[in-house]
Structure 1
Amino acid sequence: MNLKRERTVEVVRGIFLFALFITIGWSIAYGIINFVHERMSGDTEFARLEQEARMLGDIVTASTGGQTEEVLNELARLKGLELVFVQGDAVRRFQGQPEATEELSLSDEQLQAPVGGSMIQTVKRQALLGSGYMLVGLPVQVEGSAAGLLVIERLPGFFANYSKGLLTVYCALVVLVLIALAMRPWREELRGWMEVINAIRRIGKGDFTVTLERNRHMRGQFGELADSINDMTTNLSQMEEMRQSFISNVSHEIQSPLTSIRGFARALQEDGLEEEQRNRYYNIIETESMRLSKLSDNLLKLTSLDSDKHPFEPKPYRLDKQLRRMILACEPQWSDKDIVMDVELPELRIAADEDLLSQVWMNLLSNSIKFTPAKGVIRVHAKQQGDHIVVVLSDSGIGIAAEDVPHIFERFFKADKARDRSIGGSGLGLSIVKRILDIHGGIAEVASVLGQGTTFTVRLPAMQG
């Protein structure tokens, strides 16, 4: 009788724990989802959209009139935003969110306010199952003509956001784990569960420094779960650092030429400037504008290459002929500096995307010419070694410090931070080189001695057959 009673008590306790864990699990899931949902449409996200809108406005201002629509269309697609460009009575929309089939209705006041020089901000909060949007409108100048740019980000409804759905499934799986654990002594498992809950809450608040240590509460399934959470927080932390660094670098690279353009434009308004000085200011403004345009092109190019959707059409062709064409295309630059070109290019055939590799050779040659002093030497040698074609480009230039060599392919990295802006650059050229070589299954190696020169060695798969 006592044994039967004990079994009944165990069954009742098991049922109670089962119901308790289900209630707690789904309550936590709802809390996490609701927190993330509110944050998605909160002040932080709005501030992010406003910052992004200003950056897009700077890029549009820097583009030429003929490129404006192409740049806007590409930016909308890459950023996943809806852009509205207003110039005079013309209103053009650029859709970067294919799922947003319904066109957003905007009032004339919203459309014309940025053209008149006003900045507008609008947030429509989403309902539980509906959707809303955030809008930032700001004035821009396109070739001296006033225009307006409206940046729109659609906000999904509460249950439409895929990340919230993933969190719900994740918490449901945790509840299933707890159901299994309820059949065992549950006190230590409950403590482990509470540690996991606290870790998830901290992650939901943006704290990616969370680390769960394996202890007596973190054994079995909890140990595996702790390892997974630790791996996730490590990856999220790295991604956040990369995002912050990228935004900081882009903002700096855009702000520097804009500051110069603004300063010299004001100087041109002063009376009594000599013609020679005035022309010098015009040339500086043109140079800085070209820097902005090149930065925009390189950013779009890198984004396209990273998306794995960039056209890649390898075809057989003569690599030696391509290299000779690139060297001849750069002749005005190296001949002006009396640089000696030592070229040794036997007949070499390769199967590759000729247009993409042209960008590799042009970037490497331009860098060598830029940092090689007058009457220096640049060597371009190529040969086949087994299953690879090896292209060696060396110069007698200023060289690179040993501590900088491992970082030269990083985006926005500049080996000489104090160098003259006249030979500057955005720090994206070698990043593009590395990405194109990655696509081809090739590699680039660097050897350099400060004050003596630099050698780039490019290895590409040779054409078979």
Structure 2
Amino acid sequence: MKIIGGILLMNVLTYFCFSVSFTVVGFVKEKHGHSTVTKQLLRDGQLITAAFDGKANAQGLPEMLTKLTQLRHYTITYGTANASAVFASSGSDDPEFVTSIKPEDWQQVLSGSDVQQVNRKYPFSEATAVVGMPITIGSERFALFIEEKAPSLYRDFWQQVMTVFFGFLLMFILMLLIGRPWKERGGIYVYISAIRRMSKGDFTVTIDKAEQMPGHYGELATSINDMAVELNQMEQMRQAFISNVSHEIQSPLTSIRGFARALQQDGLDDQQRNHYAGIIETESVRLSKLSDNLMKLTTLEADQQQIHPKPFRLDQQVRAMILACEPIWTEKNILMDINLDERVMLNGDEELLSQVWMNILTNSLKFTDEGGTLSVEVKPTPEGASVCISDNGIGIAEEDLPHIFERFFKADKARSRREKGSGSGLGLSIVKVIVDLHGGKVTASSTPGVGTTFTVTLPNSPIKQT
């Protein structure tokens, strides 16, 4: 009893100190613009400014800001201190929201500096998070502010306290129960050391001879080793994703910057000037599409996409997508072999599924040589429906085939660079996420030099709305 009482007393003292430090650190971080909520706002703002900073006009910016407010429930203000436009989420349930933008904030942003702040009177009160950053469109500098309601500083505090409290309690009880056996195997510090290293980002941890440890000790060591391997794989994927995003954004920005400087040179004739301007416009469109696809993919993977299933004729939808691609297959003189069963009725989100057929069709047409053939077949299955899209294009190498649905993966990169309008490697990733949301399956088979076949199977059962 004395031991248990001592453990409880130590926990009480620990969490009293934890509460005080949590309050002080959290409040000070917010006052100095280092809170988690402002970091999220800042990332979204930087994405907007990267897409539009330096453009000749603000075409497309209001639409993007409106979409962002609907997706994130932000309030966005864009303009100057004297004239500005406000974009607020139509779904907001807080009509009493009051902007936290001060006149000095406008001056600071218009002078070229960022603003990050959380306006909170007391630690227990709600607050408003606001970030501001400059954006130059044409020859004029504007200010872009993003605001969001910030929850109480203690929103998740008690959950964290109780979780860590019982974690410490369980750890001390285990130490008392297993004592001597662990000392014989090097002590509990082997396990604590491994966990501490992983908490600091070192996922190369391995507990040696885990399979030789008796009973549950060996299972615990094996579990820690397995967890370290999985976390290491996730960390590598995260770093690869950041690297790919940076590369895909930097590439068009470099082109835009270079050709914009070329336009400033003297002695250019109209043909050269129009050529440079056309390249800048093409790269801007590419950057805009990348931004849209990233936002769409993030929304789908975060289960924030609203699914609206309804019955519709699948053959009519696929036929409409084929006709939408007509300029591509007529220009390349591609023979379209169409076999669409009119009996196929499907219950699904018509808008999202149209994106699936468009992405697969444009991908197949892109890598089919002039004069080639592309076949599309829609047929019923016992579970629902099947769509098969086949081409006789360049095909996909066997080692690349398992990775084509990964984000930013591009098979045959040399060929992709030569293709006009080369994509960002997100199209097939979006296809897979949408098909998964509908409970279906997408597969691909290919032979280099012979062609590629994409097969999408979809169930015809009610889809749960989110």
Q: TM-score, normalised by structure 1?
A: 0.78
1:283 is paired with a residue whose SS is: helix
Residues of 2 paired with 1:390 and 1:238: CA distance? 34
- 1:417 partnered with 2:432: no
Q: Which residue of 2 aligns with 1:58?
A: 50
Q: Which residue of 2 aligns with 1:300?
A: 295
Distance 1:142 1:230, change over 3 A: farther
What is the deviation of 1:179? 6.5
2:407 is paired with a residue whose SS is: coil
2:413 is paired with a residue whose SS is: coil
Deviations 1:234-281 (A, max 9, x none): 665555444433333222222211211121111111111121111111
Aligned partner letter, 2:365: I
Residues of 2 paired with 1:309 and 1:242: CA distance? 22
What is the deviation of 1:138? 2.4
- 1:22 partnered with 2:8: yes
Q: Which residue of 2 aligns with 1:3?
A: none
Q: Which residue of 1 aligns with 2:278?
A: 283
Q: Which residue of 1 aligns with 2:434?
A: 436
Aligned partner letter, 2:64: V
Q: Which residue of 2 aligns with 1:68?
A: 61
Q: Confirm or deny: 8 A CA contact 2:321 2:354 kept in the other structure.
A: yes
2:109 is paired with a residue whose SS is: coil
Identity of aligned residues (%): 42
Deviates more, 1:424-433 or 1:381-390: 381-390
1:113 is paired with a residue whose SS is: helix
2:337 is paired with a residue whose SS is: strand
Q: Which residue of 2 aligns with 1:248?
A: 243
- 1:109 partnered with 2:107: no
Q: Confirm or deny: 8 A CA contact 2:69 2:88 kept in the other structure.
A: yes
Deviations 1:143-176 (A, max 9, x none): 6653112356877676x252x5444223322344
* Length, aligned pairs only: 446
- 1:454 partnered with 2:452: yes
What is the deviation of 1:198? 4.7
Q: Which residue of 1 aligns with 2:376?
A: 380
Equivalent of residue 266 in structure 1, options 249, 261, 265: 261
Q: Confirm or deny: 8 A CA contact 2:308 2:349 kept in the other structure.
A: yes
Q: Confirm or deny: 8 A CA contact 1:388 1:461 kept in the other structure.
A: yes
In structure 2, the gaps of 5 or more residues are none
What is the deviation of 1:335? 0.9
Q: TM-score, normalised by structure 2?
A: 0.78
Matches within 5 A, 1:108-127: 108-116=103-111, 118-122=112-116
Higher Rg of the two aligned structures: 1
Matches within 5 A, 1:154-173: 160=154, 162=156, 165-173=158-166
RMSD: 4.3
Distance 1:329 1:122, change over 3 A: closer
Q: Which residue of 2 aligns with 1:360?
A: 356
Matches within 5 A, 1:11-50: 14-15=1-2, 17-25=3-11, 41=29
- 1:92 partnered with 2:78: no
Deviates more, 1:246-255 or 1:175-184: 175-184
Residues of 2 paired with 1:35 and 1:440: CA distance? 43
Matches within 5 A, 1:143-222: 145-151=140-146, 160=154, 162=156, 165-177=158-170, 180=173, 184=177, 186=179, 198=193, 201-210=196-205
Distance 1:292 1:265, change over 3 A: same
Q: Confirm or deny: 8 A CA contact 2:175 2:188 kept in the other structure.
A: no
Q: Confirm or deny: 8 A CA contact 1:189 1:217 kept in the other structure.
A: no
Distance 1:28 1:228, change over 3 A: farther
Distance 1:100 1:313, change over 3 A: closer
Deviates more, 1:241-250 or 1:61-70: 61-70
Distance 1:459 1:83, change over 3 A: same
In structure 1, the gaps of 5 or more residues are 1-13
Distance 1:69 1:28, change over 3 A: farther
Deviates more, 1:132-141 or 1:339-348: 132-141
Q: Confirm or deny: 8 A CA contact 2:397 2:448 kept in the other structure.
A: yes
Q: Confirm or deny: 8 A CA contact 1:202 1:210 kept in the other structure.
A: yes
Q: Which residue of 2 aligns with 1:11?
A: none
Q: Confirm or deny: 8 A CA contact 2:77 2:144 kept in the other structure.
A: yes
Deviations 1:86-130 (A, max 9, x none): 3452153657998998646332121233234x1234456988657
Distance 1:20 1:356, change over 3 A: same
Distance 1:197 1:401, change over 3 A: same
Residues of 2 paired with 1:361 and 1:313: CA distance? 18
Distance 1:78 1:64, change over 3 A: farther
Aligned partner letter, 1:437: V
Q: Confirm or deny: 8 A CA contact 1:391 1:458 kept in the other structure.
A: yes
Distance 1:253 1:27, change over 3 A: farther
Residues of 1 paired with 2:396 and 2:132: CA distance? 44
Deviates more, 1:69-78 or 1:182-191: 182-191
Deviates more, 1:223-232 or 1:280-289: 223-232
